[in-house]
Amino acid sequence: MVSRRLETSYTDPETEIDDITHHPNSVDGENPYKPFTKRSAPNILLFKLQEFLTFPSQLFFALTGLLGIANYARHIVQIIPSKPASIALRRRGSSNGTKDAKGEEIRVDKWVKDNVRSIEGVFKPAWWAPNGHLQTFFTVLGDFTKVDKVHYIRSYLRLPDGGTIGIDITPEDHDTFEPDTPTVVVCHGLTGGSHESYVRNVLSWVIKPKAQGGMGARAAVVNFRGCAGVPVTSPQMYSAGTTMDLASALHFLRHRYPSSPLHGIGFSLGASVLSRYLGEAGEASLLSSGIILGCPWDLSLMSHKLDHDWFTSRVYSSALGRNVLKLFFKAYDANPPLFDAENSPVKEFMPDLKLQRKNMGSNTRLRKVDDLMVCKIGGPVNIGAWPFANAEAYYQWASPKRLIGGVKVPLLAINAFDDPVVDCTALPLEELKSSTHVITAITGSGGHLGWFDGPFPLWSPTKSKTRWVLKPVSEFFTAAARDLDVTGGDVQIHEEEGWEWVTTGGHDIPGLARRGWNLLREGEIVEGEGDEGESGVIQGL
């Protein structure tokens, strides 16, 4: 990592010497000892007027600097693997994954450097949202219903453990695409879904035709259990450490679109799920590449930050905890026996959870909810020690930094240093440097899934919603669609009483003894920009 320093010449107007100085031995006409030219006295009135005019701006910058909200551009810091691997590029004009179709090999860091130019420069946040808190608040409070309109067609899949996921695919006419059209697979954030503004911001570009400057591709959002209107049909929920829903969705998509390269993108909790999947699957990954934004690399340290900072605990930890409680109790109220059964890992904690719901407010904390509920039913029983003894044990096991070394496809990770939710002062630097395929970019500002750099909302309601992060995302995916082919092989199935069971291809899925799904129904149209998600749940986090 190379630090950059901007050097400029410095001139002090109070000590500046006029144009010509003479050495005693020099000759200048008849007088070899001509003295220095005398300077004219400065205009005191103009000087004082200049001081008066610049003082307010200097004072404003000093105060905002003390508050941590000074607006200035900062170089984007990159973390490059010390021994980056080489990746095989698809030969131009090829549309299959056979060995004779592969072209040259290139180091993954050079491939990213050549194609993702935007992370080489600086990111300057919008002047009206110069720090992480304001960036995050706008993500939550801004009105995004008029921008990035994305409509999906939903498919509900029942998985072998009884759980249900919803896959939202866009655009509506995606079945008319060429067989080798790439598919971008999305993992949303905590209690989010395909309706989230940060999801639609990327997908509105993904589905835009190439002639209009887009990717011209298909996209599929994996809505986790209980999110975005997906019903909860088993006592297992979802978590940052559970990959079985994503892995099942990828097998389904690979079977349905066998010639389509799959490229993943994850946001916040979804970034954890996606990075863990890539680390678990390794070279067997069904994804050809990935991008993760706002990834909580170390869940334990993230929790410590959320709990021990006075402002952060009362704003972010409280909001996240309330979100999870509301989502859980929507599922509980719809089917209490599901969680009250004798063999339910959460049965003995239901009185405490109900008390938390009753007293829900500023004292609610995400860790308290994770202690009683997520660490018990956030993943499949007997996989990774589920149910865990407490939240800390779950955090230690589920942190994606543990699996960085297993990632074997190009993965671009982007974090903001001032993210108020994810502690970016504790990034796993050694793990990232020792990886072979992970390139990391850290912006000075951007907040949690923000990166807004547009004009003031009252001046331009539409352009104020622009996110800088779409630049590196679009650059990366454009190169991936051009250079990277299908990975993981074909997924063949056997139909049996409404179920489609995987017989060949793909890989084992932790938590499932048998890979497969039951397509419950499909064809429902979901208007992303008009769907505010679950009632009472704060969006954007």
As given in the structure block, the two tokens for residue 181 are 């059209």
Residues in the chain: 541
Exposure string (b/e) for 57-93, b if CB count within 10 Å is 16 or more?
eeeeeeeeeeeebebeebbbbbbbbeebbebebbeee
Provide the pLDDT for residue 157: 97
| Residue 27 CB burial class (10 angstroms; 0-12, 13-18, ≥19) | exposed
CATH code given to domain 73-89+103-298+401-527? 3.40.50.1820
Residue given tokens 């779950």 in the structure block:
394
Q: Supply the DSSP string of 12-24, one letter for each residue.
A: -TTT---S----T
At a CB cut-off of 8 Å and minimum separation 6, what does 163 contact? 225, 232, 233, 234, 236, 245
pLDDT value of residue 190: 92
User: What pLDDT score does 149 carry?
Assistant: 92
Looking at the DSSP bridge assignments, the partners of residue 241 are none
Q: Which residues contact 4 (CB under 8 A, 6 or more apart)?
A: 75
Angle 271-441-308 from CA coordinates, rounded to 5°: 65
Q: Apex CA 346: angle with CA 344 and CA 348, to 5°?
A: 100
For residue 485, which of 413, 403, 435, 410 has the smallest C-alpha distance? Answer: 410
What pLDDT sits at residue 184? 98
Distance CA 251, CA 54 (A): 62
**Which of left, alpha, beta for 15 (phi over 0: left; psi -120 to 50: alpha)?**
alpha
- pLDDT tens by residue, the chain, 541 residues: 333 333 333 233 333 323 333 333 333 444 443 443 444 555 556 544 554 554 455 455 445 544 555 556 778 999 999 999 999 998 765 444 444 455 799 999 999 999 999 999 899 999 899 889 999 999 998 889 889 999 999 999 999 999 999 999 999 999 899 999 999 999 999 999 999 999 999 999 999 999 999 999 999 999 999 999 999 999 999 999 999 999 999 999 999 999 999 999 999 999 999 999 999 999 999 999 999 999 999 999 889 888 888 788 889 999 999 999 999 999 999 999 999 999 899 999 999 999 999 988 778 899 999 999 999 999 988 776 789 999 999 999 999 999 999 999 999 999 999 999 998 888 899 999 999 999 999 999 999 999 999 988 888 888 989 999 999 999 999 999 999 999 988 899 999 989 999 999 999 998 888 999 999 988 788 877 766 555 566 666 6
SS (H, E, C) 142-171: CCCCCCCCCEEEEEEEECCCCCEEEEEEEC
Alpha-carbon span 62 to 52, nearest angstrom = 16
Q: Which pLDDT score, from 0 to 100, does residue 183 have?
A: 97
- Of 220, 226, 152, 162, nearest in space to 518 by CA: 162
Q: Do the beta carbons of residue 514 and residue 494 sit within 8 Å?
A: no
* Residue 390, number of CB atoms within 10 A of its CB: 14
- So where are the chain's domains? 73-89+103-298+401-527, 301-398
Q: Which residue has the tokens 């400065």?
A: 42
pLDDT of residue 534: 57
| Residue 169 φ/ψ region, left for φ over 0, alpha for ψ in the -120 to 50 degree band, beta for the rest | beta
- In this structure, the number of other CB atoms found within 10 A of the CB of residue 135 comes to 26
Give the integer Cα–Cα distance in Å for 470 and 463: 13
Q: Give the pair of three-digit tokens for residue 309.
A: 């900072």
Structure tokens, 115: 């194609």
Tokens 């006419």 identify what position? 173
**pLDDT on residue 14:** 34
